[in-house]
Protein backbone atom coordinates (compact mmCIF):
# COMPACT_ATOMS: atom_id res chain seq x y z
CA UNK A 1 0.00 0.00 0.00
CA UNK A 2 1.22 3.48 -0.84
CA UNK A 3 0.68 5.99 1.98
CA UNK A 4 1.91 9.01 0.09
CA UNK A 5 3.93 10.21 -2.89
CA UNK A 6 5.61 13.55 -3.31
CA UNK A 7 4.39 13.75 -6.89
CA UNK A 8 0.80 13.99 -5.60
CA UNK A 9 1.66 17.55 -4.55
CA UNK A 10 3.58 18.82 -7.56
CA UNK A 11 0.55 20.55 -9.09
CA UNK A 12 -0.38 22.26 -5.80
CA UNK A 13 3.13 23.56 -5.13
CA UNK A 14 3.35 27.35 -5.36
CA UNK A 15 5.38 28.37 -8.41
CA UNK A 16 7.95 30.26 -6.35
CA UNK A 17 8.98 27.12 -4.41
CA UNK A 18 11.39 24.38 -5.50
CA UNK A 19 9.97 20.92 -6.16
CA UNK A 20 11.80 19.59 -3.08
CA UNK A 21 9.24 21.33 -0.88
CA UNK A 22 6.69 18.70 -1.95
CA UNK A 23 8.76 16.14 0.00
CA UNK A 24 9.03 17.92 3.35
CA UNK A 25 5.79 17.06 5.16
CA UNK A 26 6.04 13.31 4.49
CA UNK A 27 9.81 13.35 4.90
CA UNK A 28 9.45 14.66 8.44
CA UNK A 29 7.10 11.80 9.29
CA UNK A 30 9.53 9.31 7.76
CA UNK A 31 12.24 10.84 9.94
CA UNK A 32 10.09 10.24 13.00
CA UNK A 33 9.59 6.61 11.86
CA UNK A 34 13.37 6.22 11.58
CA UNK A 35 13.95 7.85 14.96
CA UNK A 36 11.55 5.40 16.59
CA UNK A 37 12.79 2.27 14.77
CA UNK A 38 9.39 1.59 13.22
CA UNK A 39 10.89 0.70 9.84
CA UNK A 40 10.94 -2.73 8.18
CA UNK A 41 13.96 -5.03 7.87
CA UNK A 42 13.95 -4.37 4.11
CA UNK A 43 14.08 -0.62 4.65
CA UNK A 44 16.85 -1.09 7.20
CA UNK A 45 18.90 -3.24 4.82
CA UNK A 46 18.61 -0.72 1.99
CA UNK A 47 19.01 2.40 4.12
CA UNK A 48 21.31 1.48 7.02
CA UNK A 49 23.79 4.25 6.25
CA UNK A 50 21.01 6.81 5.91
CA UNK A 51 19.38 5.63 9.14
CA UNK A 52 22.67 6.09 10.96
CA UNK A 53 23.25 9.48 9.35
CA UNK A 54 19.74 10.59 10.31
CA UNK A 55 20.27 9.57 13.93
CA UNK A 56 23.55 11.53 13.91
CA UNK A 57 21.59 14.52 12.47
CA UNK A 58 23.69 14.50 9.29
CA UNK A 59 20.70 14.12 6.94
CA UNK A 60 16.97 14.71 7.39
CA UNK A 61 14.00 12.42 6.93
CA UNK A 62 13.12 14.44 3.86
CA UNK A 63 16.47 13.59 2.30
CA UNK A 64 15.85 9.89 2.97
CA UNK A 65 12.35 10.21 1.48
CA UNK A 66 13.86 11.79 -1.64
CA UNK A 67 16.31 8.87 -1.96
CA UNK A 68 13.29 6.54 -1.94
CA UNK A 69 11.88 8.44 -4.91
CA UNK A 70 9.32 10.32 -2.85
CA UNK A 71 7.29 7.19 -2.18
CA UNK A 72 6.17 6.31 1.35
CA UNK A 73 4.80 2.76 1.40
CA UNK A 74 3.82 0.04 3.85
CA UNK A 75 6.83 -2.15 2.98
CA UNK A 76 9.05 0.54 4.51
CA UNK A 77 7.46 0.00 7.95
CA UNK A 78 7.31 -2.81 10.47
CA UNK A 79 3.95 -4.03 11.82
CA UNK A 80 3.70 -1.43 14.57
CA UNK A 81 4.82 1.32 12.20
CA UNK A 82 2.10 0.35 9.74
CA UNK A 83 -0.57 0.19 12.43
CA UNK A 84 0.36 3.65 13.63
CA UNK A 85 0.62 5.06 10.09
CA UNK A 86 -2.86 3.72 9.28
CA UNK A 87 -4.25 5.44 12.36
CA UNK A 88 -2.29 8.68 12.28
CA UNK A 89 -0.71 9.38 8.93
CA UNK A 90 -3.15 8.13 6.33
CA UNK A 91 -6.57 7.47 7.76
CA UNK A 92 -9.48 7.19 5.31
CA UNK A 93 -11.55 9.63 7.32
CA UNK A 94 -8.95 12.16 8.37
CA UNK A 95 -5.20 12.69 8.34
CA UNK A 96 -4.46 13.38 11.99
CA UNK A 97 -0.83 13.94 11.03
CA UNK A 98 -1.68 16.72 8.59
CA UNK A 99 -3.89 18.38 11.21
CA UNK A 100 -0.92 18.41 13.60
CA UNK A 101 1.46 19.52 10.86
CA UNK A 102 -0.78 22.42 9.88
CA UNK A 103 -1.36 23.42 13.53
CA UNK A 104 2.39 23.50 14.22
CA UNK A 105 3.58 25.27 11.08
CA UNK A 106 1.03 26.93 8.86
CA UNK A 107 0.16 30.56 9.49
CA UNK A 108 -2.32 32.62 7.53
CA UNK A 109 -1.18 33.13 3.97
CA UNK A 110 1.32 30.27 3.90
CA UNK A 111 0.90 26.68 2.81
CA UNK A 112 2.23 23.36 4.04
CA UNK A 113 4.80 23.67 1.25
CA UNK A 114 6.45 26.69 2.85
CA UNK A 115 7.74 24.70 5.84
CA UNK A 116 11.52 24.43 5.73
CA UNK A 117 13.26 21.10 6.19
CA UNK A 118 15.20 22.04 9.32
CA UNK A 119 16.04 20.18 12.51
CA UNK A 120 14.33 22.91 14.52
CA UNK A 121 11.08 22.30 12.62
CA UNK A 122 11.48 18.53 12.89
CA UNK A 123 11.86 18.70 16.67
CA UNK A 124 8.84 20.97 16.99
CA UNK A 125 6.71 18.54 14.99
CA UNK A 126 8.25 15.51 16.72
CA UNK A 127 6.66 16.60 20.01
CA UNK A 128 3.21 16.44 18.42
CA UNK A 129 3.86 13.06 16.80
CA UNK A 130 5.26 11.69 20.07
CA UNK A 131 2.11 12.78 21.89
CA UNK A 132 -0.16 11.20 19.26
CA UNK A 133 1.90 8.02 19.26
CA UNK A 134 1.64 7.67 23.05
CA UNK A 135 -2.11 8.32 22.88
CA UNK A 136 -2.42 5.67 20.19
CA UNK A 137 -0.29 3.13 22.10
CA UNK A 138 -2.20 3.67 25.35
CA UNK A 139 -5.74 3.96 24.00
CA UNK A 140 -6.18 2.81 20.41
CA UNK A 141 -3.61 0.12 19.63
CA UNK A 142 -4.98 -2.18 22.34
CA UNK A 143 -8.50 -2.15 20.92
Whole-number Cα distances in Å, 66 to 22, 23, 53, 134: 10, 7, 15, 28
What DSSP letter does each residue of 49-65 carry, written as one string? HHHHHHHTTSS-HHHHH
Q: How confident is the model at residue 110 (pLDDT cuts 50, 70, 90)?
A: confident
Distance separating alpha carbons of residues 50 and 54, to the nearest angstrom: 6
Distance separating alpha carbons of residues 17 and 36, to the nearest angstrom: 30
Sign of CA dihedral 85, 104, 43, 141: negative
pLDDT at 93: 64
Q: Which parts of 32-95 are beta strand (E)?
A: 71-73
Mean pLDDT score, 42-55: 98
For 50-83, how does the pLDDT look when each residue is reduced to its tens digit (9 = 90+)? 999 999 999 999 999 999 999 999 999 999 999 9
Mean pLDDT score, 96-121: 89
Distance separating alpha carbons of residues 8 and 118, to the nearest angstrom: 22
pTM for this model (two decimals): 0.93
Domain spans in the chain, listed from the N-terminal domain onward:
2-140
pLDDT at 142: 65
Amino acid sequence: MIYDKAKYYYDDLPEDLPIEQAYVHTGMFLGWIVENNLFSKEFEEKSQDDINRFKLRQITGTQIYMKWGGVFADDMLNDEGNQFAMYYFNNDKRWKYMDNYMDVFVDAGETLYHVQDTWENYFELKEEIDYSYMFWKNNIQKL
